[in-house]
Amino acid sequence: MDLAYYIFIIYNMSAEVFSESLAYPKMKQRAVSSRSFRTKIAPSNSQSFTPGQTINVDLPGNLSGQYYNFSQMYLKVRLTTATHPAELDRAGIVSAIKRVQISQAGSQIYDLNNYNVLYTALLDTESNAEWRGSVGNIMTGTQGNSLAGETVPAGSRTYCIPLVLNPLSNTTPHRLIPAFSMSSIQFKITLDEQASFLKYATGSAPTGVVFDEVEMVCLMTELSPQAQSMIDAQTGGVYNILCNSYMNSTANVAATVSNASVNLGFSVSSLERILMVQRVGTHLSNNAKFSIGNRIRNNLTEYSYQINSESYPQRPILVDAKSAEACAELLIAEHSLVDFRKGNNLNGGVVKASNPGQLSSFVGGDPSKHPNNYVDNAPDGDNAGITTGTAGVPTDAVASNIGTAVYGCEFETGLSDGKSSHIYSGVSTLASNVQAILKYNSSVAASQLDFFAQFSVLLSLDMKGSGVFSVSV
């Protein structure tokens, strides 16, 4: 490097610069020639569906110069019940989605079982009461400060479900998905059983539960031939897209265990975090319980993970009566430990304070009436998982007995500095043995454990090769 280069560096380090507010020459630039439009795609296998069935939607390929914007797409569905009102679990209509699969030309892009369980957990941790009670209620049937979804009356109600928690909608950084690949992108959406996503009294089961008028509403972007030629020249016909994806591993613990070691089977090149939830085994298909969202502590006292016998974190995460350490680790796994404006639903059961003018107020209220759902530890009582909490006036309310516990562990290094769009730094578990190490106290309920791994994947579309997406984990 010559002397002029060093003089240039020193000058620029010492020079004063203007604020962006005074940078008048810098202006927005007009985008390349394009147009956006919406299209609606109906299922390919039927017009109506009942609980337990699978909805198949095929997004067409071979659309020259067109792209899907999955962050602006949603599934529209009408739910009809002939008799008897029932309550949705607290994720609203999304509680009815058991499994989501995405594939192309026989190659699997994504497959997540217990989709509704993960969605409910993330809805609790990453959304606030205002969203759930406003647009969330309008679109999906969630409620604000309550641990149940809306009551579905006899009749029909149309819902719109944003397509989230899949790699096509979780590109990092944001990317449009080419619609000109040589084959359609196939969605398989499996509905859960009626007793799982609806709560109703025994003997009062809703009849005629049908999902119909199903449409995938897609926002499309079409480039002009000249603009598409520019993209082809930049990429050489190879479109690489980095995404976040999820996978699920399930295990069971017996009522007599004090320690559990669970093999998870997560084999990926960049594991970013693991979320764990526990649900009472006898509640999973119990129509009288909120079986999807009732997540319990179950007298868990500590947890950690091992990858080829190396512990993550090095010291187990402790879970005590208030679960402060577990909550802090969950927020670290969400990159939100110091986000003091963040809202969530972990202690979301509605209550009434001693002063009728302070509804749902933690300050000045009666502590015995305030919900503490995150550390709910009465998993197998006859009434657990039933009461959502009320805030009636003037009588005292009943606090909720629905658990919201979810346990997280972060695996990314500090290099990524949270939700970075430039680098990823998860732990490689390829050809590795990944285990969850759990320790319990007394009075453990026989439960199902669900582990959800978030990891990075690479979607690659080579238009000069196979012409369809391939996935590298």
Residue 382 banded pLDDT, cuts 50, 70, 90:
very low
**DSSP secondary structure string for all residues of 359-375:** BT-STTS-GGGS--GGG
446 and 281 Cβ atoms separated by less than 8 Å: yes
169-183, 283-297, 342-356, range with the lowest pLDDT: 342-356
Euclidean distance between CA atoms 107 and 144, whole angstroms: 40
pLDDT per residue over 186-226, tens digit each?
999 999 999 999 988 877 888 899 999 999 999 999 999 99
- Give the pLDDT of residue 111: 97
Query: Smallest Cα–Cα separation from 174: which of 67, 253, 252?
Result: 67
Dump pLDDT digits (tens) for 50-99: 999 999 999 999 999 999 999 999 999 999 998 878 899 989 999 999 99
- The pLDDT, as a whole number, for residue 389 is 63
What is the number of other CB atoms lying within 10 angstroms of the CB of residue 397? Answer: 22
Q: What is the mean pLDDT of residues 36-54?
A: 94
Asked if pLDDT for residue 339 goes beyond 90, the answer is no
Predicted pLDDT of residue 7 = 53
- The whole-chain average pLDDT of the chain stands at 84
Q: What whole-number distance in Å separates Cα of residue 404 and Cα of residue 147? A: 9
pTM: 0.87
**Residue 376, pLDDT above cutoff 70:** no
Does position 355 have pLDDT exceeding 70, yes or no? no
DSSP bridge pairs for 155: 81
Per-residue pLDDT reduced to its tens digit, 236-255? 999 999 999 999 999 999 98
What is the C-alpha to C-alpha distance for residues 201 and 354, in angstroms, rounded to an integer?
Answer: 31
pLDDT over 60 at 357, yes or no = no
Phi, psi of 15 (to 5 degrees): -70, 145
At 132, list the tokens: 């759930």
Q: Give the whole-angstrom CA distance, residue 62 versus residue 183.
A: 7
Which pLDDT does position 360 carry in this prediction? 33
Cα(393)–Cα(356) distance, integer angstroms: 7
pLDDT attached to residue 381: 47
Show the tokens assigned to 186. Answer: 């196939």
Q: Which residue has the tokens 């002029």?
A: 4
Closest CA to 161 of 181, 198, 191: 191
Q: For position 72, what pLDDT does the model report?
A: 92
pLDDT band at 10 (very low <50, low <70, confident <90, very high): low
- Check: CB of residue 291 under 8 Å from CB of residue 89: yes
Parallel, antiparallel or unpaired: strands 434-440 and 210-223: unpaired
Where is average pLDDT lowest: 26-40, 219-233, 238-252, 416-430? 416-430
Question: In terms of C-beta density within 10 A (0-12 exposed, 13-18 middle, 19 or more buried), how is residue 318 classed?
Answer: middle
Residue 325 tokens read as 């350490």
